[in-house]
Amino acid sequence: MKSDPHPFADTHLRKRHRRARWFKNLTLFAIGLSISFLFYFLTDMVVKGLPAFQQTYIKVTIHYTTQSQSNPFAALDKSYRKIISRAWYRALPQQMAVNPALLNTQAEVWALADDQVDQYLKGHYHNLKPKERTLVDHLQAKGEVVLKFNALFFSHSDSKIPEFAGLKSAMVGSVLTLFITMVLAFPLGVMTAVYLEEFAIDNRWTQFIEININNLAAIPSILFGLLGLAIFINLFGLPRSSALVGGLTLALMTLPIIIVSARAALRSIPDSIRQAGYGLGLSKLQVVQDHVLPLAFPGILTGSIIGLAHAMGETAPLIIIGMIAFIPDSPDSFTQAATVMPAQIFTWAGMPERAYIEKTAAAIMVLLGVLLSFNGLAIYLRKKFAVKW
Amino acid sequence: MMVFTPKNKIKNHKESLIKSLLIIASTLSILTTFGILFSILFEAIEFFQLKSVWYFLTGSQWTPGRVDSQFGALPIFSGTFMITFIALAVAIPVGLGSAIYMSEYASWQMRDWLKPMLEVLAGIPTVVYGFFAAITVAPLVVTVCESLGLRASFNNALASGLVMGIMIIPLISSLSDDIIRAVPDAQRKASLALGMTHSETIQHIVLPSAMPGIVSASLLALSKALGETMVVVMAAGLRPNLTWNPLEDMTTVTVQIVDSLVGDHAFDSPDTLSAFALGLVLFLVTLVLNIFSLMMIRRFKEKYKINTL
Amino acid sequence: MENKIKVTGLNLWYGDNHALNNVSIDIYKNHITALIGPSGCGKSTFLRCLNRMNDLIRNIRITGDVVIDGKNIYDKDVDEVSVRKHIGMVFQQPNPFPKSIYDNVAYAPLKHGQVKKGQTCDDLVEQSLRRANLWVEVKDKLQQPGTSLSGGQQQRLCIARTIAVQPEVILMDEPTSALDPISTEKIEALMLELKQDYSIITVTHNMQQAARVADYTAFFHLGLLIEYAETETIFINPVQKKTEDYVTGRYG
């Protein structure tokens, strides 16, 4: 063996350093993998969903005739029959009934194209016949086929006709459901947290409650659906598929999240604040109400927004209580049948037509957009109100 | 002279009223747990009056919707465990590795980037993962298998398991990250001062100290994987299939619960009630896992006197 | 008197904060050297320069030479990991690993490949624990966790753990400040025994302790080495006014 060049030379160490680097690279690989999953996933959704924000329209000349009043297909040239949306045809008689002056006139409009034409233009799988394809190509060359921003996606509700399907009823349903959820879960969660942090003495009962809350946070969400089905629907007789039952079920699920974060927020308020309050002769309730809660409020709010985002993405329990019904019109009360955005994603994902894939991905983009802004807001509030005690 | 106000009755009344309200609110969580338990239990009992418990737990034929329907849940349990196993095989190493990198190697600036990214991964709704599994990953698995000369079903268990694993990574990484950082720095310093490399310190000192927390996180992940619904409903199969091959289609407890409750069966038919029997098993198993996990984390916290986790 | 460590022109910056300013000092073999000074004077920082523990802190810059046994430990061809193997360190808070008493002592020698599992390792553990005056108290409970011991015992376990690696220098960062007087006395007695085999450098807040155990004492103030001499000189007849003010308790 070569003699040591200096007292700190250690040939054994080189091997150990190599192993150390290996280990470090292994962990780097792991986090790299997690992050690339995220990017692969997001890219995949955007690539799949982005086309849905545009929809094909075809320039047509409508002939408002008495015949087209009973058979809307007569309003256009016969060759357009397969390439214009059935939904668009269906709306014609209604239009003429509302505005009788249209009779025996002509109009040039952009009509909603059939989903097969839309998919063909976007380069996806389609089942257009060669004849229809040549027609579309021909019209496109003339500039009579264009892709426009798909406003229908936001102004229309679910439909069995893919090009006519939109998110509106699901968005309304989500708002109604989450309203119920937050109205219940926020006050109850904060009250529980206040009780456990400020009033409860550490006895078996309190520990039991604590274990319960932590356990509830980890119970599979589908079981909350079984609870909703058995208690809210079968026992209390509340209307199935309604925003009310959905909101109640989600409230029970969101409660633990709000409690845990509210407790953390309350715990971060130093005891000196409470002592100061008592020193001024305030009662416990006054101290909590006037001093501790306002200081803890940003933290509680942050936790509640995260809880809200969580509830917003939840699907499984809502399937069990029937919130995956086909809802062609937006609900306007809490007891009407409703659906929510993730449930709409679920139903669209199960549809056989190719056009629904991009709809699903687009709905996912909308949902993720909302959720990310919620989370962003929570992070912003956390940073803005971060106080170092 | 000092004057002490006598106890104000109205004020006292108000205080105790509010306090009782707070107590009532706090018992709601217990009501929820018992609500879940009983709403499942009663229907499950009804099911077991119609069908044998023993056959339910050990039988291998699951044939609902027939006159002589049989409810042997073994193939359902096996599918659940297969998919869960794949998910954990992805999530534990990747999640733990990510946590180690974030807590031990990454600089502060890097951490500030990495942590929110994993939070995004955690914030993605399960239905979205389900869509991803069904539309992107499952066909990918089939294509890759074909090029290797293997046959894979479009509802293969591997795709559901992989995606579920990705979904669970942030759960493991964020809990483990908190726990690894809670290991006192004095231990790292002691090891480094003895001439250990950073990686040796992590492997021999930090990780063993953090082990109860890491095990606790893994148990929570297991509980989550067993009860995960959307990914498997959208990407796994409906056919009970007792097999070791992850490329075949398999079904899970949650898939069967959804399937039997979404169809048009009478509510008191064994087909519908079987959902509650499966739900009861799921409830009990996850309950045991959760409580075990909570106990381990509690012990860890007491050991290092942490009250922030 | 043999010179063990020769520090020349050592400077250290934490970001913009010049924490050690041109420190030069000779540390002698088989003696105890105490570093004293008010909080934030740089004595602990200086101590950590001697086994390159400061390398772990981001945003730090070190210039100057720390020559140990004729080799500058900040030379490019020196691995800081092996420096720490040769220069042991004992911390302020006893910090045994959450392992058994036996494993606490055996851990590093096993990993360094200094011993193999079995009789030789058992012997090393016994020898190290004996050397740290802990053997009699723990010989029947070697498999119990190190954290189950009392504070003073834990600190002696940490010393045994350090000795087991067979270092030549032991750095001690206020080793008794977290201990009760009786444990402190035991540690001080141990330090006096250990100096026969090791060169010991200790940081202390407690001037009586420095006076009791140290052969040489260095007084630091605001990152500067103000005075370094035999302990007696520092405490009875210091040259510098600042040293006199400090040792007579006028500030600090």
Q: Looking at the complex, does the CB of residue C93 fall below 8 Å from at least one CB of chain B?
A: yes
Say what percent of chain B tops pLDDT 90.
Answer: 62
Of C96, C99, C108, the CB nearest to B194: C108
pLDDT digits (tens, 9 = 90+) for A51-85: 999 999 998 888 888 888 888 888 888 888 888 88
- Cβ neighbours of residue A198 closer than 8 Å, sequence gap 6 or more: A266, A284, A288, A292
Per residue of chain A (389 residues), give pLDDT as tens.
344 577 787 778 888 999 999 999 999 999 999 999 999 999 999 999 999 999 999 988 888 888 888 888 888 888 888 888 888 888 888 888 888 888 888 888 898 988 888 898 888 888 888 888 888 888 888 888 888 898 889 988 888 888 888 999 999 999 999 999 999 999 999 999 999 998 888 888 888 898 899 999 999 999 999 999 999 998 999 998 899 999 999 999 999 999 999 999 999 888 888 999 888 888 888 899 888 999 999 889 999 999 999 999 999 999 999 888 888 888 888 988 899 999 999 999 988 888 899 999 999 999 999 999 998 888 888 888 766 55
Q: Which residues of A touch C83 (CB under 8 A)?
A: 8
CB contact under 8 Å between A219 and B227, yes or no, is yes
Nearest-neighbour CA in chain C from A13: distance (Å)? 8
Distance CA A306, CA B123 (A): 9
Q: Given this model, what pLDDT does residue B9 score? A: 67
Q: Given this model, what pLDDT does residue C188 score? A: 94
Of A22, A224, A342, the CB nearest to B125: A342
Distance CA B36, CA A230 (A): 9
CB contact under 8 Å between B186 and C84, yes or no, is no
Interface with chain C: mutation pick from A6, A8, A14, highest number of C CBs within 10 Å: A8
Q: Looking at the complex, does the CB of residue C73 fall below 8 Å from at least one CB of chain A?
A: yes
Q: What is the CA radius of gyration of chain C?
A: 18
Kindly identify which residue of chain A lies nearest to residue C86, measuring between CA atoms. Answer: A8
Q: Looking at the complex, does the CB of residue B227 fall below 8 Å from at least one CB of chain A?
A: yes
Kindly identify which residue of chain B lies nearest to residue A349, measuring between CA atoms. Answer: B131
Q: Looking at the complex, does the CB of residue C98 fall below 8 Å from at least one CB of chain B?
A: yes
Nearest-neighbour CA in chain C from A3: distance (Å)? 15
Q: Given this model, what pLDDT does residue B41 score? A: 93
CB contact under 8 Å between A16 and C69, yes or no, is no
Does B158 map to a domain? yes
B79 in Cβ contact with B250 (< 8 Å)? yes
CB contact under 8 Å between C112 and B195, yes or no, is yes
pLDDT digits (tens, 9 = 90+) for A269-322: 888 889 998 888 888 888 998 889 999 998 899 999 999 999 999 999 999 998
Distance CA C102, CA C123 (A): 11
- Give the CATH number of the domain where residue B156 resides: 1.10.3720.10
Q: Looking at the complex, does the CB of residue B134 fall below 8 Å from at least one CB of chain A?
A: yes
Distances (CA, A) of B298 to A130, B247, B309: 69, 39, 9
Nearest to B303 by CA among B171, B182, B176, B207: B182
Q: Which residues of C touch A10 (CB under 8 A)?
A: 79, 82, 85
CB contact under 8 Å between C81 and A5, yes or no, is no
For domain C3-247, the CATH class is: alpha beta
Residue C169's DSSP bridge partners are: C87, C199
Neighbours of chain B (3+ CB pairs under 8 A): A, C
Nearest-neighbour CA in chain C from A293: distance (Å)? 38
Distance CA C90, CA A11 (A): 26
Measure CA C159 to chain center. 10
Pairs of residues, one from chain B and one from chain C, whose beta carbons lie less than 8 Å apart: 60
Q: Given this model, what pLDDT does residue A4 score? A: 55
Does B37 map to a domain? no
SS3 state of residue C216: strand
Distance CA B86, CA C235 (A): 70
Nearest-neighbour CA in chain C from A21: distance (Å)? 14
Q: Given this model, what pLDDT does residue A2 score? A: 42
For chain A, what is the HEC assignment? CCCCCCCCCCHHHHHHHHHHHHHHHHHHHHHHHHHHHHHHHHHHHHHHHHHHHEEEEEEEEEECCHHHHHCHHHHCCHHHCCCECHHHHHHHHHHHHHCHHHCCCEEEEEEEECHHHHHHHCCCCCCCCHHHHHHHHHHHHCCCEEEEECCHHHHCCCCCCHHHCCCHHHHHHHHHHHHHHHHHHHHHHHHHHHHHHHHCCCCHHHHHHHHHHHHHHHCCHHHHHHHHHHHHHHHCCCCCCEHHHHHHHHHHHHHHHHHHHHHHHHHCCCHHHHHHHHHCCCCHHHHHHHHHHHHHHHHHHHHHHHHHHHHHHCCHHHHHCCCCCCCCCCCCCCCCECCCHHHHHHHHHCCCCCHHHHHHHHHHHHHHHHHHHHHHHHHHHHHHCCCCC
Distance CA A244, CA A294 (A): 31
Residue B8 pLDDT > 90: no
CB contact under 8 Å between A34 and B95, yes or no, is yes
Residue C236 pLDDT > 60: yes
Buried b (16+ CB within 10 A) or exposed e, A296-329: bebbbbbbbbbbbbbbbbbbbbbbbbbbbeebee
Q: Looking at the complex, does the CB of residue B193 fall below 8 Å from at least one CB of chain C?
A: yes
Kindly identify which residue of chain A lies nearest to residue C78, measuring between CA atoms. Answer: A8
Q: Looking at the complex, does the CB of residue B200 fall below 8 Å from at least one CB of chain A?
A: yes
Q: Looking at the complex, does the CB of residue B33 fall below 8 Å from at least one CB of chain A?
A: yes
Q: Given this model, what pLDDT does residue C231 score? A: 94
Q: Given this model, what pLDDT does residue B309 score? A: 47
CB contact under 8 Å between C77 and A5, yes or no, is yes
Residue B305 confidence class, pLDDT cut points 50, 70, 90: low
Q: In chain B, how many domains are there? A: 1
Kindly identify which residue of chain A lies nearest to residue C84, measuring between CA atoms. Answer: A8
Q: Which residues of B touch C56 (CB under 8 A)?
A: 192
Measure CA B42 to chain center. 25
Nearest to B217 by CA among B172, B170, B173, B181: B172
Query: Which tokens sit at A367?
Result: 């949902």
pLDDT digits (tens, 9 = 90+) for B52-91: 899 999 988 888 877 788 899 999 999 999 999 999 999 9
SS3 state of residue C247: helix
Q: At what angle do helices B157-182 and A11-49 cross, to 10 degrees?
A: 130
Distances (CA, A) of B31 to A80, A105, A178, A227, B25: 61, 67, 22, 11, 10
Q: Looking at the complex, does the CB of residue C108 fall below 8 Å from at least one CB of chain B?
A: yes
Nearest-neighbour CA in chain A from B210: distance (Å)? 16
For chain B, what is the HEC assignment? CCCCCCCCHHHHHHHHHHHHHHHHHHHHHHHHHHHHHHHHHHHHHHHHHHCCHHHHHHCCCEECCCCCCEECCHHHHHHHHHHHHHHHHHHHHHHHHHHHHHHHHCCHHHHHHHHHHHHHHHHCCHHHHHHHHHHHHHHHHHHHHHHCCCCCCCCEHHHHHHHHHHHHHHHHHHHHHHHHHHCCHHHHHHHHHCCCCHHHHHHHHHHHHHHHHHHHHHHHHHHHHHHCCHHHHHHCCCCCCCCCCCCCECCCHHHHHHHHHHCCCCCCCHHHHHHHHHHHHHHHHHHHHHHHHHHHHHHHHHHHCCCCC
Pairs of residues, one from chain A and one from chain C, whose beta carbons lie less than 8 Å apart: 32
Q: Hunting for tokens 């994603």 — which residue is that? A: A345
CB contact under 8 Å between C56 and B303, yes or no, is no
Cα-flanking dihedrals φ and ψ of residue A157, to 5°?
A: -100, -175
Q: Which residues of A touch C6 (CB under 8 A)?
A: none
Mean pLDDT of chain B: 90
Query: Which tokens sit at B262?
Result: 């979404």
C212 in Cβ contact with C233 (< 8 Å)? no
Neighbours of chain A (3+ CB pairs under 8 A): B, C
Between β-strands C169-173 and C199-203, what pairing exists: parallel, antiparallel or unpaired?
A: parallel
Does B195 map to a domain? yes
- Cβ neighbours of residue A19 closer than 8 Å, sequence gap 6 or more: B199
Q: What is the DSSP letter of C53?
A: G
pTM: 0.89
Q: Given this model, what pLDDT does residue A316 score? A: 94
Query: Which tokens sit at A191?
Result: 């009250």
Residue C77 pLDDT > 90: no
Q: Given this model, what pLDDT does residue B307 score? A: 53
Residues in chain C: 252
Buried b (16+ CB within 10 A) or exposed e, C94-122: bbbbbbbbbbbbbbbbbbbebbeeeeebe
Of A27, A34, A194, the CB nearest to B100: A27
In single-letter form, the type of residue at position C112 comes to H
pLDDT digits (tens, 9 = 90+) for C15-61: 889 999 999 999 999 999 999 999 888 999 999 999 999 888 888 99
pLDDT digits (tens, 9 = 90+) for C124-160: 999 999 999 999 999 999 999 998 999 999 999 999 9
Query: Which tokens sit at A296?
Result: 């803890």
Within 10 Å of residue C247's Cβ, how many Cβ atoms?
20
Residue C5's DSSP bridge partners are: C27, C68
Q: What is the ipTM of this complex?
A: 0.91
Does B52 map to a domain? no
Residue C26's DSSP bridge partners are: C6
Does B43 map to a domain? no
Structural domain range at position B70: 62-304
CB contact under 8 Å between B209 and C84, yes or no, is no
Residue A112's DSSP bridge partners are: A57
SS3 state of residue C177: coil
CB contact under 8 Å between C78 and A8, yes or no, is yes
Between β-strands C216-221 and C32-36, what pairing exists: parallel, antiparallel or unpaired?
A: parallel
Residue A134's DSSP bridge partners are: none
Q: Which residues of C touch A7 (CB under 8 A)?
A: 68-71, 86
Q: Given this model, what pLDDT does residue A3 score? A: 47
- The superfamily (CATH) of domain A168-384 is MetI-like (1.10.3720.10)
Query: If you average pLDDT over residues B10-38, what whole number do you get?
Result: 87
pLDDT digits (tens, 9 = 90+) for B206-253: 999 999 999 999 999 999 999 999 999 999 988 888 888 899 999 999
Distance CA A16, CA A2 (A): 19
CA atoms in the 13 A half-sphere facing the CB of B308: 8
Q: Which residues of A touch B166 (CB under 8 A)?
A: 34, 37, 41
Q: Given this model, what pLDDT does residue A387 score? A: 66
